[in-house]
Structure 1
Amino acid sequence: MVDDKLRTPGAVRDAERWTAHNYHPLPVVISSAEGAWLTDVDGRRYLDFLAGYSALNFGHRHPQLIAAAHAQLDRLTLTSRAFIHDQFADFCRELAELCGKDLVLPMNTGAEAVETGIKVARKWGYQVKGVPAGQANIVVAEGNFHGRTTTIVSFSTDEDARADFGPYTPGFTVVPYGDLAALTAAIDENTVAVLLEPIQGEQGVVVPPEGYLPGVRQVCTERDVLFIADEIQSGLGRTGATFACDHEGVVPDMYLLGKALGGGIVPVSAVAANADVLGVLKPGQHGSTFGGNPLACAVATEVVRLLATGEFQRRSAELGERLRAGLEGLVGKGLVEVRARGLWAGLDIDPALMSGREACERLAARGVLAKDTHGSTIRLAPPLVITEEEIDLAVTQLAEVLAA
């Protein structure tokens, strides 16, 4: 891909030499970025069509977010939750208002938000619903991706994520995604929650059938079960709305948020729910040294303020239609299927042509960075600051890869 006189090959070799091989990155070594563009150590530029798995919804180094980080770095970065700092209340209040919920519990990573949601749901089940001790169960979906902790991979159906990490945590029932009848049948008197991605990201941007999410909402209400929406990838503007649930007018009992909440600067996650749910936690029962730290709160508050204007949701919806139209024009020309909502798309490439990995390598050679998943599927998730011209450029490059 590159001339041996350039810096990239050596940097790739060093990375492979000194790190555990839990990732298989493309042989691109990034040194700087701005907006929707990345520059490698050899000065070549790439259009970012992954956006850090939606962690960079507002692009690289968004000026408002960078300014907030710089200002906070000069004042205070960490206190732990042993004390209250002056950024904490504003962040929690503004995020709670964005979500339409009473309370927010800040953490760091998406997986921590999911683990928090699981713990809260179980405690709610025992203390509020009256489930017998140790009997709580949570219904989840096949093809899910909620993180990689031991508990979370216990209910994964992806063998790469799950195999050889047992013994597994009990208390989960897996049903087919999008099958409301199967989900309803799986709920029993000890079910405390249904945990779902409103759109499955890792699975290839799988959008559920119309009516599925409202159906889940209804059955959870009828059966006294919490509906937990993992909006870590799908939320905060990615799909053309603040939350993916908004497309069908669904309000879950609990939002799990992360990725874009940190503005691509610091890891920030959060759980948002009403007081009758999050209020079951008491001091000492859950926490995090870094969760809700001043730097994280300063940046995340600016993220919430960007979303409060509605600008990024509108951009995602409008530009997403352009992206979808361009991609659908390639169906039958190398693409088998396109699934998209907002600026988020999953593409199934004809496996007779190439794998998803091959497609991403060829796109990288043409200056567009994307990520494969599950064989011949690739995901596209450009920053919401992308332009029409940049979308057209990426679609053109994909068309040429498929034609070649």
Structure 2
Amino acid sequence: MKADRIYNFNAGPAALPLPVLEEIQESFLNFAGSGMSVTEISHRSKWFDDVINDAVTRVKRILQLDDRFHVLFVQGGASMQFCMVPMNLLGAGDSADYVNTGTWSTKAIKEAEIQGKSIHVVASSEDRNFAYIPKEIAFTPDAVYAHITSNNTIKGTQWAQFPDTGGAPIVSDMSSDIFSRPLDMDKFGLIYAGAQKNMGPAGVCLVIIRDDLLARTPGDIPTMLRYSTYANKNSMFNTPPCFAIYTVQLVLKWLEETIGGLGKMEELNRKKAGLLYDFIDQSDFYRATADKDSRSLMNVTFRLPSEELEAALVAAALKNGMGGLKGHRSVGGCRASIYNPTPLAAVESLVDFMKTFERDNG
């Protein structure tokens, strides 16, 4: 860790790989010999064509996407996708299934209901404050899609295995665990992910959509809310968030060329999460909030004996070079977001700090 930088455990906007930040810094004033910043070049220029095309190519290569899938960059974050998904995919007489595993699932359900779409909440973990991922779900046989949130940042849960939907394509909000592990893309019809948690800065949302779902896009919804608008124009119908896409491209390059792909990334993520969960589980002072078989590899949520101690830990951690450990405002507690860019050394330092804090306050 550089002397003037802390370990960043924020849930989003979150940590970026240090080599990516250094490359941005080095080229920020004169990007690719253009004499301009990447924030100044035209999105119609060859310089940006190279950026966005390389980003698309890397997404396809990393996830092993075949020609059925289209890679789009959309503004509005994952929250915009909560309304765009049903708006584009559900016509008259169609229905979709939703699984409610927390705040972001709840918001997605609400946005579909606002439009009067026919949806079925086929499972929910609300009965235990969203501390687990539901099992044995009865999906609707003729549903157009089945919507899940793959990782829940607030409650610290994650789908360890994706469900058998009976043939309905999965539509998944993967904002907080995209590119954290290999995926069987045959299960998915659409994936969306706000960049600011695990692959870039705020300002762009990655959408991966399969041909058969893209074909459902109607012509009577606003132009900028149609997936076909982005697919037909390589995400450049209007001016895209160029800097955000550039940063995503560099993160994908880091993932491929420095980490070695999704298999290696998953190994590292499991090692980081295992180190932190193992420590919490052997402690009588700290308590993990998610069920063991539903725990997130990205967001480790935990409580201390009192809210006063939780506030004290967050403050003391910051003084010791570790920021972002306060839990979401809706649930309190503590949360360590250990996304792809978070180094193992950061988790090791956090565990050492938590041991000391427990010894002094337990």
* Structure-2-length-normalised TM-score: 0.70
Does structure 1 conserve the Cα–Cα contact (< 8 Å) formed by 2:12 and 2:197?
no
Matching of residues 144-163 of structure 1 within 5 Å? 144-145=103-104, 152=108, 154=110
Task: State how far apart, in whole Å, the 1-side matches of 2:275 and 2:170 are.
Answer: 33
Alignment correspondent of 1:348: 303
- Identity score, percent: 9
Q: Please, which of 85, 88, 92 is the counterpart of residue 120 of structure 1?
A: 88
Q: For residue 53 of structure 1, what is the amino acid of its counterpart?
A: G
Does structure 1 conserve the Cα–Cα contact (< 8 Å) formed by 2:13 and 2:202?
no
Alignment correspondent of 1:99: 63
Does structure 2 conserve the Cα–Cα contact (< 8 Å) formed by 1:36 and 1:47?
no
Does structure 1 conserve the Cα–Cα contact (< 8 Å) formed by 2:99 and 2:105?
no
> Structure 2 vs 1, CA of residues 36 and 105 (structure 1 numbering), >3 Å: closer, same or farther?
farther
Q: Please, which of 117, 134, 145 is the counterpart of residue 193 of structure 1?
A: 145
Q: For residue 259 of structure 1, what is the amino acid of its counterpart?
A: A
> Structure 2 vs 1, CA of residues 91 and 264 (structure 1 numbering), >3 Å: closer, same or farther?
closer
Does structure 2 conserve the Cα–Cα contact (< 8 Å) formed by 1:262 and 1:300?
no
Does structure 2 conserve the Cα–Cα contact (< 8 Å) formed by 1:317 and 1:342?
yes
Q: Secondary structure at the match of 1:184?
A: coil
Q: For residue 207 of structure 1, what is the amino acid of its counterpart?
A: Q
Q: For residue 74 of structure 1, what is the amino acid of its counterpart?
A: S
Task: State how far apart, in whole Å, the 1-side matches of 2:296 and 2:2 are.
Answer: 19
Cα distance, 1:380 vs. partner? Answer: 0.8
Post-superposition Cα deviations, 1:146-197, rounded to whole Å, max 9, x if no partner, equal: 596xxx37269xxxxxxxxxx944434333143344x415x264x3222112
> Structure 2 vs 1, CA of residues 97 and 219 (structure 1 numbering), >3 Å: closer, same or farther?
same
Q: Secondary structure at the match of 1:219?
A: coil
Alignment correspondent of 2:177: 234
Cα distance, 1:301 vs. partner? Answer: 2.1
Alignment correspondent of 1:323: 276
Alignment correspondent of 1:390: 346
Q: Secondary structure at the match of 1:390?
A: helix
Matching of residues 296-311 of structure 1 within 5 Å? 296-308=244-256, 309-310=260-261
> Structure 2 vs 1, CA of residues 135 and 384 (structure 1 numbering), >3 Å: closer, same or farther?
closer
Cα distance, 1:230 vs. partner? Answer: 1.3
Matching of residues 12-23 of structure 1 within 5 Å? none
Task: State how far apart, in whole Å, the 1-side matches of 2:319 and 2:110 are.
Answer: 37
Does structure 2 conserve the Cα–Cα contact (< 8 Å) formed by 1:55 and 1:259?
no
Q: Secondary structure at the match of 2:138?
A: helix
Cα distance, 1:372 vs. partner? Answer: 0.7
> Structure 2 vs 1, CA of residues 154 and 356 (structure 1 numbering), >3 Å: closer, same or farther?
farther
Q: Please, which of 8, 17, 29 is the counterpart of residue 58 of structure 1?
A: 17
Post-superposition Cα deviations, 1:205-237, rounded to whole Å, max 9, x if no partner, equal: 1134x65x2xx2x3241xxx2211211101223
Cα distance, 1:36 vs. partner? Answer: 8.1
Alignment correspondent of 2:327: 372
Q: For residue 90 of structure 1, what is the amino acid of its counterpart?
A: D
Cα distance, 1:272 vs. partner? Answer: 0.7
Post-superposition Cα deviations, 1:356-375, rounded to whole Å, max 9, x if no partner, equal: 55543443344422131354
> Structure 2 vs 1, CA of residues 117 and 59 (structure 1 numbering), >3 Å: closer, same or farther?
farther
1:49 and 2:9 aligned:
yes
> Structure 2 vs 1, CA of residues 315 and 282 (structure 1 numbering), >3 Å: closer, same or farther?
same
Unaligned 5+ segments in structure 2 are 126-132, 231-236
Cα distance, 1:107 vs. partner? Answer: 0.8
Q: For residue 91 of structure 1, what is the amino acid of its counterpart?
A: A
> Structure 2 vs 1, CA of residues 264 and 96 (structure 1 numbering), >3 Å: closer, same or farther?
closer
Task: State how far apart, in whole Å, the 2-side matches of 1:227 and 1:291 are.
Answer: 30
Q: Secondary structure at the match of 1:273?
A: strand
Task: State how far apart, in whole Å, the 1-side matches of 2:52 and 2:120 are.
Answer: 36
Cα distance, 1:313 vs. partner? Answer: 4.1
Task: State how far apart, in whole Å, the 2-side matches of 1:93 and 1:194 are.
Answer: 27
Alignment correspondent of 2:100: 141
Task: State how far apart, in whole Å, the 2-side matches of 1:153 and 1:355 are.
Answer: 35
Unaligned 5+ segments in structure 1 are 1-34, 40-44, 127-132, 157-166
Q: How many residues align?
A: 318
Does structure 1 conserve the Cα–Cα contact (< 8 Å) formed by 2:265 and 2:340?
yes
The CA RMSD over aligned residues, in Å, is 3.9
Cα distance, 1:143 vs. partner? Answer: 1.4
